[in-house]
Structure 1
Amino acid sequence: MTVWMAALPALAAGVAGGWLLARGRRRLPVRFALMVNAGLLIAAAVVAALAVSGGVAQAAAPAGSAEGGGNWAALLGAAVAVAGSSIGAAIAVAYTGAAALAAMSERPELFGRAMVVVGLAEGIAIYGLIVAIILIGRA
């Protein structure tokens, strides 16, 4: 958070400088944006190189654990269950919601039925959350 707060004045100055450059010229803002993107690419490459060249990281052993391992497979399964069910629910709600709005625009009395279908699609995420809670409880 401190890094973002320190970078905020530089970001504001960059936006103001870009706005001032764009006022009367056409090609200069594009060149400015390309230079900023190139600088960000170089900074990202430096950060990636530092991350890759670092040593092996090891987590501290949890309190009360003799071997310090824990049941990582159950936690990974919980994460996959929540992520997969949330993505599936988002796709299902997108399609059913669009179809429900199209149907309600023609016949407004279909509101109740349409919302039930959208709610059933949202239930997929709830099932994934329940599976994750069960897996975390056994970890």
Structure 2
Amino acid sequence: MTTWLIALPALLAAFAATRMLLRRRGKAALRWVLAADGALFAGALALLLVALSGGAARADAATTAAESSGSGSAALIGAAIAVAGASIGAAIAVAYTGAAALAALSERPELFGRAMVIVGLAEGIAIYGLVVAIILIGKA
């Protein structure tokens, strides 16, 4: 958390500098920004490949420790994906059903109960993701 608090102002400053550079220089600045993005992507990809290859750099003790905690971390990652996917799905569903409910309520206010039930059903998608996450964490 502390790392993000330190890095966030630097990221904002880099974003502002890139925006000013793009406004002043146009296409030449865009080429530089794309080249820098490509270099960062290549570096991240190389780091990922080194981390996943696991080569001879790992000690036996570190290997056994990583293997014993592998299923727990996989369950936590699965729980995070379940909650994130369900929350995004629920947000999209509530956006559409909420807009339709408001449009229906503006014409016929007596439909309030039915409209709220439909919006509540759309929000239930997020609860399903939370239930799946709790089950996965319980098995870890």
**Which TM-score band applies after superposition, normalised by the shorter structure?**
0.5 to 0.7
| Residue in structure 2 matching 1:33, options 30, 33, 37 | 30
Q: Provide structure 1 residue ranges, at least 5 long, that are not aligned to the other structure.
A: 22-27
> In structure 2, what residue type is equivalent to 1:108?
P
| Residue in structure 2 matching 1:48, options 39, 45, 48 | 45
Larger Rg: 1
Task: Measure the CA separation in 2 of the matches of 1:75 and 1:7.
Answer: 28
Q: Provide structure 2 residue ranges, at least 5 long, that are not aligned to the other structure.
A: none
Distance 1:116 1:70, change over 3 A: same
More helix by proportion, 1 or 2?
A: 2
TM-fit CA distance, 1:97: 1.9
Structure having greater relative contact order (Cα 8 Å, sep ≥ 6): 2
Distance 1:60 1:82, change over 3 A: farther
| Residues 77-99 of structure 1, C-alpha deviations (whole Å, 9 max, x = no match) | 53454344334423432332232
Identity %: 57
Task: Measure the CA separation in 2 of the matches of 1:70 and 1:38.
Answer: 36
TM-fit CA distance, 1:9: 4.0
Distance 1:80 1:33, change over 3 A: closer
In the TM superposition, 1:1-139 aligns within 5 A as 1=4, 2-19=6-23, 21=24, 28-54=25-51, 55-56=53-54, 61=65, 68-69=68-69, 71-72=71-72, 74-75=75-76, 78-139=79-140
May I ask how many residue pairs the two structures share in their alignment? Answer: 128
| Residues 9-65 of structure 1, C-alpha deviations (whole Å, 9 max, x = no match) | 44433333444x2xxxxxx42332233123222222233223323452768849xxx
In terms of mean alpha carbon deviation, does 37-46 or 8-17 score higher? 8-17
Root-mean-square deviation (CA, aligned residues, Å) is 3.4
> In structure 2, what residue type is equivalent to 1:129?
L
